Amino acid sequence: MKRNIKLLLEYDGGRYDGWQRLGKKSSGVTIQGKLEEVLQKMTGEPIEVIGSGRTDAGVHARGQVANFHTDSNMKCWEMKYYLNRYLPQDIGVLYVADVPERFHSRLNALSKRYVYRVSIGDVPCVFDRKYTWYCFDRLDVGLMKKAAALMVGEHDFKGFSSVKKTNKSTVRTVTKIDFDVKDREIDMIFEGNGFLYNMVRIMAGTLIEVGTGDREPESVSEVFQTKDREKAGMTLPPQGLFLEEVFYSNEGR
C-alpha cells in the first residue's frame, strides 16, 4: 500500500510561474514542477504533488501544504533532509509526515489565510521591495475597515476575481479581514474557505483605493450586486502576497 506523505512548505515565488506545473511546451518554472523533479530523483518513481491551492506567478508562501503518494521506505526526516539539500534555496520544506490515505491537501482544506503586505511611509523599505507593494499615498485605515466589513461573509465574489467564464460556483465565504498597522507597513490579512483567481489581490486593491479616498467603502456592495470586475479596484502586484497558513480539521490531518 502506498504511503501518503504530507509536506509543509515555504517559498519565495519571485522567479516562478506560480505553483501549478505547466504543459510540456512551456519553458516556465513552477514550484510543483521543481518539487516533483526532486521527489522523482529521490524515490525513483513518477510523483504527482497535490497542493492545497495554486499560488499565482510571483506570489510567496510561508505555509503551503502539499501531499504525494510513494512506495518509498525512506524515513520522513530523511525525505526532509534530501528535499532541502537538493531543492533550490528559495523553496524550503518545513515538515514531512505520514498521513492517512484519505488525506488530500486541497479537498480537505477548511480555510486559508493570506497576507498582503503594503509598504508605507515617506521612503519604501529597500530590503522589503521584493516582498511588499509600496503605496505612495496616505491610507485611512478606518475607511478600509468599513469596506472590509462589507466583504466579510458569504458572497458571490465573481466581481472581485479575474475569472472569465466558468461553470463552477464563484460563491465563497470570507470569515475575517484584519489590518496589522506598523510604522512602515500595513498588512491586510484575509481568511476564508477559498479564493478565486486574483481574488485577494483585487480585494486588497479595492481596499487601498478606499483608503486613498478614490472610492467609497459602500462601493463594495455594488461589486457584489453587479458581479462586474470593472466596478472593483486594481489588482495589486503579486510580490506583496503570501499564503500564510492552510487550516484542516483534526480528522483531516
212-236 pLDDT, tens per residue? Answer: 999 999 999 999 999 999 999 999 9
Query: Which of 107, 126, 160 delimits the end of a domain?
Result: 107
**Over 60: is that where the pLDDT of 251 sits?**
no
Q: What is the CATH number of the domain that holds 228?
A: 3.30.70.660
In terms of domains, do 38 and 56 share one? yes
In terms of domains, do 93 and 156 share one? no
**Over 60: is that where the pLDDT of 34 sits?**
yes
In a domain, 252, yes or no: no
In terms of domains, do 221 and 149 share one? yes
Report the C-alpha gap between 233 and 213 in whole angstroms: 12
Q: Which band of pLDDT confidence, cut at 50, 70 and 90, is reported for residue 21? A: confident
**Over 60: is that where the pLDDT of 176 sits?**
yes
CA 213 to chain centre: 27
Q: Distance of CA 11 to CAs 25, 134, 163, Å?
A: 25, 21, 25
Q: Note the pTM of the prediction, 2 decimals.
A: 0.94
Query: Which of 68, 89, 107 delimits the end of a domain?
Result: 107
**Over 70: is that where the pLDDT of 93 sits?**
yes
In terms of domains, do 22 and 146 share one? no
- Expressed as residue numbers, the domain containing 88 is 3-107
What are the catalytic residues? 56
Q: What is the DSSP string of 118-160?
A: EE-SSS--GGGTTT-EE--S---HHHHHHHHHHHSEEEE-GGG
**Over 90: is that where the pLDDT of 27 sits?**
no
The grid coordinates of residue 188 equal 491586510
Q: Which band of pLDDT confidence, cut at 50, 70 and 90, is reported for residue 135? A: very high
Query: Tell me: the pLDDT tens digits for 36-67?
Result: 999 999 999 999 999 999 999 999 999 999 99
In a domain, 205, yes or no: yes
The mean predicted confidence, pLDDT, of the chain is 95
In a domain, 32, yes or no: yes
Report the C-alpha gap between 117 and 240 in whole angstroms: 5
Q: Which band of pLDDT confidence, cut at 50, 70 and 90, is reported for residue 125? A: confident
In terms of domains, do 209 and 123 share one? yes
In terms of domains, do 98 and 115 share one? no
In terms of domains, do 58 and 119 share one? no
Predicted local confidence at residue 153, as pLDDT = 97
In terms of domains, do 142 and 86 share one? no
Q: How many CA atoms lie within 13 A of 103 on its CB side?
A: 26
In terms of domains, do 68 and 140 share one? no
The grid coordinates of residue 230 equal 470593472
CB contact at 8 A, 11 and 87: no
Instruction: Count how many domains the chain has.
Output: 2
Report the C-alpha gap between 144 and 150 in whole angstroms: 10
In terms of domains, do 103 and 115 share one? no
Q: What share of the chain has pLDDT > 70, as a percent? A: 97
In terms of domains, do 115 and 227 share one? yes
Query: Which of 45, 77, 107 delimits the end of a domain?
Result: 107
Residue 190: closest CA among 30, 53, 96, 66: 53
Report the C-alpha gap between 182 and 93 in whole angstroms: 29
The grid coordinates of residue 116 equal 498582503
Q: What is the CATH number of the domain that holds 90?
A: 3.30.70.580
Predicted local confidence at residue 181, as pLDDT = 96
Question: Across residues 141-148, what is the average pLDDT?
Answer: 98
Predicted local confidence at residue 26, as pLDDT = 66
Q: What share of the chain has pLDDT > 90, as a percent? A: 89
In terms of domains, do 30 and 119 share one? no
Question: Across residues 174-183, what is the average pLDDT?
Answer: 96
